[in-house]
Each structure stands twice: as C-alpha cells, then as structure tokens.
C-alpha cells in the first residue's frame, strides 16, 4: 500500500510547516515528526480510524490542532487534507465536495 498527498493536502502541509518553522526550527521539526508518525500509523492500520464522511477517515494529530483526512482504496491511501481544527469546518466540507 502507498500513501499519496492530494495537491490541496500538500498545500495544507506546506502552510503549516512554514508557520511552525517560522516560529522555531525545533517546533517545525516536531510538527513534521508528528505528521510522519501519523502517516505511518495510517499506512500500518488504515481501518483503525473513525470515518469523517462515508468514504473518508480522520486522524487527530497529538499535540497540534490538526487532523488528517484520508480515503483508502485497494492499494493506495490518499491524504485529502491536513486541516487546522480552529478553522470553520464548512471549509473542509466544501473542499470534500470539490475533490
């Protein structure tokens, strides 16, 4: 099984990393470490996490106010969003409807 980021999720990640690295290198590295850990958890146990919609699942990132939204297919997991939980949830719903 492979994991790929949707272009919108790539943008989410870039924005979050820019923000945390601007604060400090240590914080940026810590955030990236948490993201990597959750990506590995998703790859190893994709069915472990709760469904956000009928087809997408959600992982909460510990220590940071973000969730990862993904969909799994036969041989691929697509990360749809790395979403800051303080944003309006309607933004995520609107985005799901566009993908």
Read off the pLDDT of residues 32-55 as tens digits, 9 standing for 90 and up: 999 999 999 999 999 999 998 899
Q: Domains in the chain and their CATH numbers?
A: 2-98 (3.30.2310.20)
Mean pLDDT of the chain: 90
Q: At 19, which helix (H) or strand (E)?
A: helix 7-23
Give me the percent of the chain exceeding a pLDDT of 70.
Answer: 87
Asked if 98 and 77 touch (Cβ cutoff 8 Å), the reply is: no
What pLDDT shows up at residue 52? 86
The residue whose two tokens read 């190893």 is 44
Dist. CA 90–CA 24, nearest whole Å = 30
SS3 26: helix
Please give the C-alpha separations between residue 83 and each of 1, 47, 74, 95, in angstroms, as whole numbers: 23, 20, 24, 11
The structure's pTM equals 0.87
Each residue of 55-86: pLDDT tens digit? 999 999 989 999 999 999 989 999 999 999 88
What six digits make up the tokens of 10?
A: 């790539």
């Amino acid at each position: 099984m492979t994991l790929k980021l949707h272009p919108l999720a790539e943008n989410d990640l870039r924005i979050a990393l820019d923000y945390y690295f601007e604060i400090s290198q240590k914080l940026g590295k810590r955030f990236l470490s948490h993201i990597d850990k959750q990506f590995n958890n998703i790859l190893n146990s994709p069915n472990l996490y709760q469904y956000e919609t009928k087809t997408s699942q959600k992982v909460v990132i510990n220590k940071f106010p973000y969730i990862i939204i993904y969909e799994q297919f036969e041989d691929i997991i697509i990360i749809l969003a790395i979403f800051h939980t303080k944003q309006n949830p309607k933004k995520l719903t609107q985005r799901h409807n566009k993908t």
